[in-house]
Amino acid sequence: MARTDFWHRILHNKMALAGGLMVCLMFVLAIMAPIIAPDPGFVDISRQLEPPSVASWLGTDDLGRDVFSRIAYGARISLLVGFVAVGIATAVGIVLGAIAGYYGGWVDIVVMRFVDIMLCFPSFFLILAVIAFLEPSIWNIMIIIGLTGWMGVARLVRAEFLSLREREFVLAIRSLGASDARIILRHILPNALSPVLVSAALGIAGAILTESALSFLGIGVQPPTPSWGNMLIAGKQTLGTAWWLSVFPGLAILITVLGYNLLGEGVRDALDPRLNK
């Protein structure tokens, strides 16, 4: 599909536009946080648990900290985790999937059996087990999520390579004496990235949910650093009287995850040749 056709289909896909709008909203919030939001760590005991008002758009928490500010800075954490974790997972998946799909034979068998073994372990519990032995920092979380989420990408890339490696253009390039690395990187991989883009968009949503869940359990991003997950657990005790402490971080997670899911579905529809008119 030509690039112009792809963007035409994206711009005429209501689902992709809605998802892109939600994602852009969170990006703007994260980028503009130092300008539009006060210090998220500023404590003012005299303003404990104030409901949403003109002074504090989304209210304050039990320490008098501005909830809007903490959500804005928490967006930075969530987006950083999503992109770095998915970047690691995508890189590992592409490398192993490309090797397995291009060389086939015993190489394919070894790589795919390793993938099957990794898939036997529930990812979230595997992450919990690893974090139990490490310090619960944001960098450890990103690396662990990335190193436990590459299996789907590897399968997608392997399937594309198995299909493309016997195409006429690859056989012609091989007959000219091109090296395996050149064939893989310059000719097959660019044609195998379409499903990876969709997987990456959906993977960012999954990584954000995982980080929020870990922070909610107290083993993710540690206070006082604002994270949507640790904001949820902080608001659990006062849910009946200070509903805004849980509702607004929950809405931020919902909008972000839904946005990436809708965007991923829209990109998939735009890249699907069966839908090309």
In the three-class reduction of DSSP (H, G, I as helix; E, B as strand; rest coil), residue 133 is classed as coil
Kindly state the tokens that stand for 201: 């968009």
Q: Which residues, 6 or more positions from 146, have their beta carbon under 8 angstroms from its beta carbon?
A: 84, 85, 86, 87, 88, 89, 92, 207
Every domain of the chain and the residues it spans: 3-275
Kindly state the tokens that stand for 37: 């939001």
Report whether 262 contacts 202 (CB < 8 A).
no
Helix then strand count (H, E) for the chain reads 13, 0
pLDDT tens series, the chain, 277 aa: 556 676 777 777 888 899 999 999 999 999 999 998 888 888 888 888 889 988 888 999 988 899 999 999 999 998 999 999 999 999 999 999 999 999 988 999 999 999 999 888 888 888 888 887 877 778 888 998 999 889 999 999 999 999 888 888 888 888 888 888 888 888 888 888 888 988 898 899 999 999 888 888 888 888 888 889 888 888 888 877 889 999 999 999 999 999 999 988 888 877 765 555 4
Torsion sign across C-alpha atoms 9, 10, 12, 15:
positive
How far apart (Å, rounded) are the C-alpha atoms in residues 195 and 265?
A: 11
3-state DSSP percent of the chain in helix, strand and coil, to 5: 75, 0, 25
Report whether 171 contacts 107 (CB < 8 A).
no
Kindly state the tokens that stand for 212: 């929020």
How far apart (Å, rounded) are the C-alpha atoms in residues 130 and 140?
A: 10
Closest CA to 49 of 224, 198, 214, 235: 235
CATH of domain 3-275: 1.10.3720.10
Which phi-psi region, left, alpha or beta, contains residue 223 (left: φ > 0; alpha: ψ -120 to 50)? beta
From residue 218, alpha-carbon distances to 143, 163, 227, 228 in Å are 18, 45, 11, 12
DSSP string, 203-247: HHHHHHHHHHHHHHTTSSSPTTS--HHHHHHHHHTTTTT-THHHH
How far apart (Å, rounded) are the C-alpha atoms in residues 102 and 108?
A: 8
How far apart (Å, rounded) are the C-alpha atoms in residues 191 and 195?
A: 10
- Say what the pLDDT of residue 276 is: 52
How far apart (Å, rounded) are the C-alpha atoms in residues 82 and 241?
A: 32
Report whether 38 contacts 66 (CB < 8 A).
yes
